[in-house]
Amino acid sequence: MTTIKATCPTCGEVELTADDLTLMVCSQAPLSYYAFRCPRCIEEIRKPADDHIISLLVSGGVRATNWNIPAEALESHDGLSISYDELLDFALAIERTDYLAALADHAFRA
């Protein structure tokens, strides 16, 4: 079996076989990546895979899995991002809704 050399950020160069690598080819090319568990530190390493890397890995016997990114994830969003306070308000509102729902449920059963 072909030996594939990859680099772990902690351990440096490590030797793997095709079965040790996962290759995820995305419909949006910049999001394609490959992953492996470093045989020395057991850390899961994930790295971007461009066309060159994809063809190298495939020729080394790594099976490619195709995946699609949901269209919503590619939408551009305007406006401010949600703040912690808003999230807290939302959580509290949900709790109140549960409380109201419990009261309503109780009322219907009575």
Query: Based on CB atoms, which residue is closest to Zn ion, 25 or 34?
Result: 34
Q: C-alpha angle 66/75/89, rounded to 5°?
A: 115
Q: Is 40 in the site for Zn ion (CB under 5 A)?
A: yes
Q: Is 8 in the site for Zn ion (CB under 5 A)?
A: yes
CB of 41 to Zn ion, least distance (A): 3
Q: Is 7 in the site for Zn ion (CB under 5 A)?
A: no
Contact between 65 and 58 (Cβ < 8 Å): no
Please name the residues in contact with 25: beta carbons below 8 A apart, sequence gap of 6 or more: 32, 49, 54, 64, 65, 66, 67
The single residue among 29, 41, 88, 91 that binds Zn ion, judged by CB under 5 A, is: 41
Residues that bind Zn ion (CB under 5 A): 8, 10-11, 38, 40-41
